[in-house]
């Protein structure tokens, strides 16, 4: 079975201001077969620092996450939740998402097929790369 790279992302929402605009963007990526969601957990830290985690089916359906296709679940452990929660301030929430990059599966197969080993990879935060990209011509 071809497997693309698997990534995770923790997105924090100060003041628990979470409005669900992410769900339609994720849905579009799923529909275009760009990604496959493997697991998605919502984490909240209340004013006294207590942490609660919620599965996708426990979140308000009005936010659109219950309509996402293909969520497998079971990959995010209590240790992962604890790690993500450790970066949250009181009265803050986060989404912890694990997905497979379906678009990169052919490249991943080619790397493995050629005997290559991915040694390291990382995302460059938008705030760091944006000034450098501002000087480049637009993609097109």
Whether the model clears a pTM of 0.75, i.e. scores above it, the answer is yes
Domain ranges of the chain: 6-133
pLDDT above 70 covers a percentage of the chain that reads: 89
State the chain's maximal CA–CA distance in angstroms: 52
Quick check: 132 pLDDT over 70?
yes
- Identify the weakest region by mean pLDDT among 26-30, 65-69, 73-77, 95-99: 65-69
Alpha helices in 1-140 (DSSP H): 22-31, 78-86, 105-113, 126-133
**Residue 39 structure tokens:** 């697991």
Whole-number Å distance between alpha carbons of 96 and 78: 12
């Amino acid at each position: 079975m071809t497997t693309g790279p698997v990534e995770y992302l923790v997105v924090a929402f100060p003041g628990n201001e979470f409005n669900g605009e992410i769900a339609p963007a994720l849905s579009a990526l799923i529909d275009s077969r760009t990604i496959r969601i493997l697991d998605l957990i919502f984490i909240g830290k209340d004013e006294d620092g207590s942490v609660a985690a919620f599965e996708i089916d426990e979140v308000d359906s009005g936010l659109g996450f219950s309509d996402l296709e293909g969520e497998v679940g079971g990959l995010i452990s209590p240790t992962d939740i604890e790690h993500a929660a450790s970066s949250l301030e009181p009265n803050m929430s986060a989404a912890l998402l694990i997905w497979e990059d379906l678009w990169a599966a052919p490249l991943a197969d080619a790397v493995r097929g050629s005997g290559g080993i991915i040694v390291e990879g990382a995302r460059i935060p938008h705030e760091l790369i944006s000034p450098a990209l501002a000087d480049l011509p637009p993609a097109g």
